[in-house]
A and B are shown apart, each in its own frame.
Chain A
Amino acid sequence: MAQTEISPVEPETLVPFEEDHARQTNTGVSNNKLAIWVFIASESLFFGAFLATYFLYRGRDAQFLKGPTPSQLLNIPFTSVTSFMLLMSSLSMVLALAAIQRGDHRRFRIWLLATVIFGMSFIGGQVYEFTEFYREGLHLSTNMFGTTFYVLTGLHGTHVVVGIVWLMSIWIRSMQGKIGAERHEAVEIAGLYWHFVDVVWIVIFTAVYLIPQH
């Protein structure tokens, strides 16, 4: 790709491919941002399928009388606290994006790190919750609640972990000076994913914890 020296073409046509298209998309939305929205739409159906499964099997255990019931297990105050932390992580994510858009790298890194720590606290809470439930006798195979609870919340937790790794890689690159203010869109895209995972948790928290069951 070394044509500059011998190319007779006008300099303004020498635009790298991706910038060429970032500048002039038909929709006005950049390719990367459109892609993450489309991907989020796809992910919605993934969680939708598992939520549908959860609702289908909700309350089916009563007739089988096997293992601990949701009302015996669920510690709503504890999970409310970890859920609150996850919601706060969305706030810190917004602040991080605002900081990088201003070019304030110091605050950007602080808020990004805060987002990661909030996310990790949530995952820590989930690990604690899983071990506690397991100790109290709820296994994957115990009953339908065990099956659906662990798989639904576990898949959500996996998404949070992916988000944490993503944000941490941005943080490390920022420390290396590789995330300039002009790359704020890369942060925004990670943020969109992060907010989506948060919103999914609000739905899961409502479905599993808040709607009363036996």
Chain B
Amino acid sequence: MTTVEDATALLHPPVKRSILDRPRSTTGAWSWFTTVDHKKIAIMYGATAMFFFLVGGIEALMIRLQLAQPNGTILSAARYNEFFTMHGTTMVFLMGMPLAAAFGNYFLPLMIGARDVAFPRLNMFGYWVFLLGGAFIYSSFVLGGAPDGGWFGYAPLTSTPMSQGFLPGRGADFWAVGLIMLGIGSVATAVNFIVTALNMRAPGMTMMKMPVFVWMMLVVAFLTLFAMPPLTAALIQVFMDRNFHTNFFNAAAGGDPLLYQNLFWIFGHPEVYILILPGMAIVSEILPVFSRKPLFGYSVVVFSGIAIGFLGWGVWAHHMFATGIGPIATSAFSLSTMLIAIPTGVKIFNWLATVWGGSVRLRTPMLFALGFIAQFTIGGLSGVLHSIVPADTQQTDTYFVVAHFHYVLFGGLVFAIFGGIYYWYPKIFGKLLNEKLGKLNFWLMVIGFNLTFFPMHFLGMEGEPRRTYTYPNGMGWGTLNLMATIGAFIIAAGVAVFLVNVIFTAIRGERAPEDPWDARTLEWLTSSPPPEYNFAEIPVVTARDEFWHRKYTEDDEGRLVKLPPSDASRIPARHDPSEPHGIHMPSPSYWPFVVALGLPIIGYGFVFKLWWLLAIGVVILLFGINAWTSEPATEETH
């Protein structure tokens, strides 16, 4: 692009520019600040979320060090509360959801043959809100105490005013305002993904030809769209109770603390699927490629995903079985929780049937995908145990629950994410990650993960409570806790190997072939990394696994036959930036950042009750929105 502009500069004398002129450059460091390219935004999402993954991981290691033996003294009780609260908040809102947004951003448009998402600037806005929202919550560590009421922030613990409260610092205020902010960004991204998937598919790509990845991201977007508002409502009520003396959760005035739990889990349980469905989406792409078979029962997998999305709204009270909501409610929610195991089980069998009889290649992405299936199944089974009310009452608030959801979210989601990174790294950066280091990474994580979390099942059965900063001698919990701590450090070693692999590949890695895995979906039908406009010519889709069908066909006996290379299956040569392509892409913009910047300023205004600061934030916000809506998405040709 630069060269094109240079050439134009020779034809036209440069126009005088001011600082508020629209940014133009699509290369160089500054372009990352103003970009609206979904691929660059995805990389920024991914890098930022991996940073928060490390931060949350360090918090987890501190927690494990504290619990390694009875009467630990590494963390004070107050610091422990901050760390387990921020570990959960970070891993859910600053690691899990943004990493899903990273994969969705990069591959949703590519897989449906689109040039970008529907609203490129809104996309960038979502990223800035995530980054600034994360920084806002973490700034609490130096501005009056980090959140320490748990990632779920139960009222009235969090909602009682600071002066008479159970939580002395401003942590709960930062937590409530920060999560409202992150919710705004998530809803913006969800709207963007929904419109993109529904409206911008390549010609011929009907809904039932969409890759499962796109389907699952669509379901996730709908879940996010509807799950965030109840959370926002609950957080506003907590914040009002704390700071403006409303009585939402004040039992003395007629308020009902259970309202908070209902609102929170109406968000919180769909949130579980918001986190795990992207993992299922990634795995559903990896397994067929490395088994060289189409996904078994495509439509059943799609409908199971939709069913999980629907049923996910009817199970929230299984988080509240111990609160005394009555036998009818508990029975109903117990049944609906058992019901949701059906579509989940269907998916597991479909994945197994995909691998069954395939010519399986055990490369690193495949290892992570298989690890996902095994560990997610264990987590799913312990989840079914929680649907049985008497068992759940016994397990509530013990380490059994910690074991359960880490099997789903770490053994499931995080393994799928690592698999996805290994699978798509050559697509995104044009280089293959080192296979030996990849396998070492995988095995360290499998061993470390199971060593950390499997003993927690037993600890929970023996009654060790969650969220408690230490335990006395003589409970018999010391050995298993020490095992878990050792396991946590083995996980950390696995993550370190991953980072070494990334650095090693950046320095020494060789160019990957254009289609290193013999893949099936459209994102591989363009060069790696793809040009800014993704496809010079939008592909016309005739089949599921379009790219595969352009490479292979079947003979009369159903055997796979490789087609001779043709124009249809040819991957375009790597993009030459000086080559004029005549495709108008959305222009870079400052305004998504300016609008997003208004939000944390408003947030600080609320937390510290500095109304002038709040007013400044509102002015910045309005100024940014005005400028945003005044500029066209694509600048006219000069």
- Write the residues of chain A forming the contact surface with B, with a CB cutoff of 8 angstroms: 1-10, 13-18, 20-21, 25-27, 29, 31, 34-35, 38-39, 41-46, 48-50, 53, 56-57, 60-61, 63-64, 66, 139-141, 143-144, 146-148, 150-151, 155, 165, 169
Contact = CB atoms under 8 A, between A and B. Distances in A.
A144 B254 CA distance: 7
B509 to A, nearest CB: 33
B60 to A, nearest CB: 32
- Residue from B8, B236, B254 having most chain A Cβ neighbours under 10 A: B254
Contacts of A63: 254
B583 interface: yes
A42 B634 contact: no
A25 B199 contact: yes
A1 B229 contact: no
A53 B259 contact: yes
Nearest to A64: B254
B463 to A, nearest CB: 34
Interface of B: 4-5, 7-8, 11, 24, 115-116, 118-120, 187, 190-192, 194-195, 198-201, 225-226, 228-230, 232-234, 236-237, 240, 244-248, 253-256, 259, 263, 266, 580-587, 622, 626, 629, 632-638
Contact of A2 (B4, B200, B247): B4
Nearest to A6: B580
Nearest to A61: B254
Given A3-B4, A16-B634, A64-B253, A45 B237 contact: no
Main secondary structure of the interface of A (DSSP, over half): helix
B25 to A, nearest CB: 11
A9 B637 CA distance: 15
B229 A143 contact: no
Contact of B195 (A34, A53, A61, A64): A34
Contacts of B636: 16
A64 to B, nearest CB: 6
Contacts of B120: 17
Contacts of A146: 246-247
B232 A35 contact: no
Given A17-B115, A38-B194, 5 more contacts: A5-B8, A17-B584, A17-B586, A18-B586, A31-B119
Contact of A60 (B240, B254, B266): B254
Contact of A151 (B5, B236, B583): B236
B365 to A, nearest CB: 30
A31 B637 contact: no
Given A2-B638, A6-B4, A60-B254, A45 B581 contact: no
A49 B267 CA distance: 11
A34 B581 contact: no
B582 A16 contact: no
A9 B195 contact: no
A2 B195 contact: no
A202 B200 CA distance: 36
Contacts of B255: 57, 144, 147
Contact of B228 (A29, A35, A42, A151): A42
Given A31-B119, A35-B195, A45-B229, A16 B245 contact: no
9 contacts: A1-B637, A1-B638, A8-B582, A13-B582, A16-B633, A42-B190, A45-B229, A63-B254, A64-B253
